Every structure is written in C-alpha cells, then in structure tokens.
Structure 1
C-alpha cells in the first residue's frame, strides 16, 4: 500500500525530530541554556569584557570545568578587571560561595573598588588577599578552583610548586582544578617558558601531578591554530595587550590572529 505524500513527509519529520541531540552539538545546546549562559548574559558585565567572549568562550569553559550554582568556588588571581568574576558572581550569588584570591597591590585595590561600586552583583563575593595566610578559605572546603592565564606567571616568578600545593590543600577530595593558559608547542625550547608567557601542556601536568592532582581531560575550547606562539615579545604581542604598540606595521596581522592559543585542562584532587 502506498503512503500518501503528505503523510510520508509528516512521518519523516517526526522521525527527524525524534533523533536525540548527540556529541558536540548536544553539549553546545545544553551549555547555551544553562545557568552559566544566563550569568554570562548578565547586564552587569562590562562591554569591553563581553567583547572578548569570542576568544575566551566562558560558557563552554565553565561548563567543561563543571562549575554549578551551589558550589564553593575559588578564582585565583582574577586581576583588577575581574573578567571571570563578572560571570562567576551572578552565577553563585543566590546559591554558592565565591572567593576571589588576589595578591595585594593595584590589582586587588582595583577589583575591590569594582566590587564596592556594585554591591547588588558582588556583595556576597569574598575578596581574599593571596597568599591566604589567615586561613580565610577553609582547607578542604572548595569544590572548584579556577585560574585563567596565571600559571605562566607562577613559572616565571618561581612560585608554581608552592601555589599548586596550596590549591590542593583548599580543594575537597574529588574537587576540580581548572586551568586555562597560553600553550607552547611541546617541541619548543623549555627555556621559553621563563620569558614568553607560553607554557607546555606537559609542564602544567607535571606541576599538578607534583602537588597530588590527577589529570582528568583536556579541551580545545580555547584553541587558536592561528597563533604560532613564536613572537619576539612573547604572548603579549597579541591581543588584548598588543605590546608592540599602534605604530607596529604588523598590528593588523596580530588583530587578525586574535588572542593566544590556549590549553584548557581539568584536574581532580583524588578522593
């Protein structure tokens, strides 16, 4: 028996609709409708920061790290601009606790002023001078500890081992350490890690393992294959720093490349 054309079309459409979302597309759709996406769309975010979402992929990144309302989260060294603070604060305001661990100095003072000027958004955020010598963040109390583009600074100033051990002490057993940083190809001279702002994935894995962490997985969310990671003035040649200045004849090239190629790594404190 022949099925009328209209009925056949309807049946085919039903079958298509019934196919479940899967793979990367399903993950992207889920992330786009999440509390993280709502926080990333908060009107309290500054336009200069939202303009960088295309490079920093905050919704996908925080989803990958498993950040959720209700958690206790530490962001290490957010900087005076508080780029991720603008998203984490509304995400955790009603349920959860957010600690911003920032070294004393200009960055701390700038972030404090930003938070003081908008108590509705940041009133519940706990800004803690780092290192936390007073134990303001209780040991073993943190669900997720995040640090964005900071490990290269630790390596350059010789504080990486001690800082990773401090991270380990703050996290609960089973807690997540999420790291994003500028990626140096594995075949490059490791000496570049002391001056370029780029690090090898293997270097961060070794630091984490030395502190007791177990590697979970990596994501290419923040990858940028246009970045060759071989700039004379290091990663700061590229946006957003553009350290070579407006007179540099290659400035347009750097802008076209965009921000750096970045690794996105998830570790866990074993239970």
Structure 2
C-alpha cells in the first residue's frame, strides 16, 4: 500500500483571520456554533503551532495544512482527551501533544507492528517537556478497538480514510471511532477530495475519495454530519495526476519529472468534515 498520506467557524480573532486568508483558506459552509474554541485556548494553540520543538520541514507545510484553523474547526480544547488515528510520522502530533500536555490527554493510535510506534517514541524522547504526557496505543485496524467506550472527547484522523477504503477496513474503523467517543463528542476527518460525482471504484487507487462516500461511512456508523469546511481546499488541484495524490508534495512520487509543476499546485485538495456523536448515543 502506498505510504500513509488529522475555516474555524467564524475564525477566532483578527490574527487567525489574517493567517487563514494568507493561506488561502475559505469560510466553512456553515457556522460551527457548539464546537469552536475560546480565546485562551486559541492562544495556547498558537503557541503550540509556533513551538521550537516542531521540525522546520513540518512548519513549512503549515501553509497547506492550516493547523490553527483545522483544530479550531474541530473544537479541540487543551483540556480534552484526544485520540489521533494513525499519526504516522507525527505531523499533527507535534502540535496536539504539547497543546494537550498540561490539562488534557493525547493518544496516538497506531497500527500494531508499524514503524509509527518507534517514530513517535523517538519524537517524544527528544522533547519530554512537551510530550511527557503523550501516550501511544497500538491496535489492529481490521478489528479495531480504540479504547474504553465513551472515553474520548475528540477523535481526529488526517488523510487516512483513503487507506482504509483501499483495504476494506473503513466501515470497521468508523464504528470503532464512534464507540470510543463520548456522547456529544466530535470526529474530525480530513482527506483528499475527489471530483464531485466520482464513484469510489473510479478513484480509490488515486488517494482521492468522494466526499459523499466519507459522509456515508460516518453516518452509517451513527454519526451526524455537523459541518463541512473549505479550510483545506486547493482549487489548483484538478485531482488528475500520474500517481494520484502522491504526485504532489510532499511525496513527489514522479521524482524530478515535472517537479516544478507539482510544486506550483501544492498539496492536495482536501475535504474537512466534522461529525458529532449524538448526545443520546451510547
């Protein structure tokens, strides 16, 4: 399998608004009323994004990944228990774990036996002051159990659903994410977005996914779609590349062939979806 590829409603404060506009972000499709974060949380999030422990390579991708706006849209506050599914090398971990360090809990849920465990352990060992309370949980994504039922405030997954769609585990993963969330908890999903009207079979090997397919996965598992955002949209991406999403940065699977062209497009066009576990659900 290919390598694994997690606007704030009402954009919190003028500083965040300028950052979003500079990154080409757009407003969400509707207001994200119950989930935004307060000004104090936003300030802590800004501090985590600016952290000196983050690698220069990861910081350079902020213009494509919009971490402040994305995590604000998902309503992630620093006192929450947050499970990040398949954090891979830990791009969002570098922000989430320090942000949750003092008053919350960060759990990186990784595939049992994968290289992610060692990669995250190494990252944590270099900056114990920021990562000292972070946890790693291994699980089998074909028969997933992500923790005690109703134990997480937020479950986030960034650019992973296309992998589950390709190997047939997507339905099980969404059911497991539903089970581990508290009633009223939020599932945040970001993934590469296919052209409207495309069928899964047409695009599954490209890394892009139909938005309606992802929404159906979540709603079939019991979630309610709460809001969609264009934070991570990229109108330069026409979704049609020789090696799918992996043609574009940061992967550059075409090597030096037309590299300037792919660099000019930037990272992929992505959907950003917020789902809620109904308050009455168990």
Fold shared, TM-score > 0.5 on shorter chain? yes
Cα offset, 1:23, TM superposition: 5.2
Partner of 1:268: 276
- 8 Å contact from structure 1 (residues 75, 145) kept in 2: yes
- 8 Å contact from structure 2 (residues 151, 180) kept in 1: yes
Q: Indicate yes or no: 2:206 matched with 1:196.
A: yes
Provide Cα deviations, 1:162-198, integer angstroms capped at 9, x if missing partner.
Answer: 0000000100000000001000012234323320000
- 8 Å contact from structure 2 (residues 237, 268) kept in 1: yes
Provide Cα deviations, 1:7-61, integer angstroms capped at 9, x if missing partner.
Answer: xxxxxxxxxxxxxxx9558473569952211111111111110000000000000
CA distance in 1, matches of 2:182, 2:133: 21
Which residue, 256, 262, 267 being the options, matches 1:259?
267
Residue correspondence of structure 1 range 1-271 to structure 2 within 5 A: 24=11, 26=13, 28-29=16-17, 34-79=43-88, 81-103=89-111, 104-131=113-140, 137-246=147-256, 248=257, 250-271=258-279
Task: State the superposition RMSD in angstroms.
Answer: 2.1
Instruction: Report the 3-state secondary structure (helix = DSSP H, G, I; strand = E; otherwise coil) of the residue aligned with 1:113.
Output: helix
CA distance in 1, matches of 2:102, 2:125: 18
Cα offset, 1:110, TM superposition: 1.6
- 8 Å contact from structure 1 (residues 139, 169) kept in 2: yes
Cα offset, 1:119, TM superposition: 1.7
Pick which of 132-141 and 255-264 moved more: 132-141
What is the TM-score normalised by the length of structure 1?
Answer: 0.86
Question: Where does the alignment leave 5 or more consecutive residues of structure 1 unmatched?
Answer: 1-21
CA distance in 2, matches of 1:239, 1:32: 31
- 8 Å contact from structure 2 (residues 139, 145) kept in 1: no
- 8 Å contact from structure 1 (residues 144, 176) kept in 2: yes
CA distance in 1, matches of 2:223, 2:253: 35
Instruction: Report the 3-state secondary structure (helix = DSSP H, G, I; strand = E; otherwise coil) of the residue aligned with 1:139.
Output: coil
Instruction: Report the 3-state secondary structure (helix = DSSP H, G, I; strand = E; otherwise coil) of the residue aligned with 1:145.
Output: strand
Provide Cα deviations, 1:171-230, integer angstroms capped at 9, x if missing partner.
Answer: 000000000100001223432332000001101000001100000000100000000001
Aligned residues: 247
What is the TM-score normalised by the length of structure 2?
Answer: 0.83
CA distance in 1, matches of 2:144, 2:163: 23
- Return closer, same or farther for 1:207/1:143 CA change in 2, 3 Å cut-off: same
CA distance in 2, matches of 1:185, 1:194: 12
Q: Post-superposition, which runs of at least 4 consecutive aligned residues in structure 1 deviate over 6 A?
A: 132-136
Partner of 1:9: none
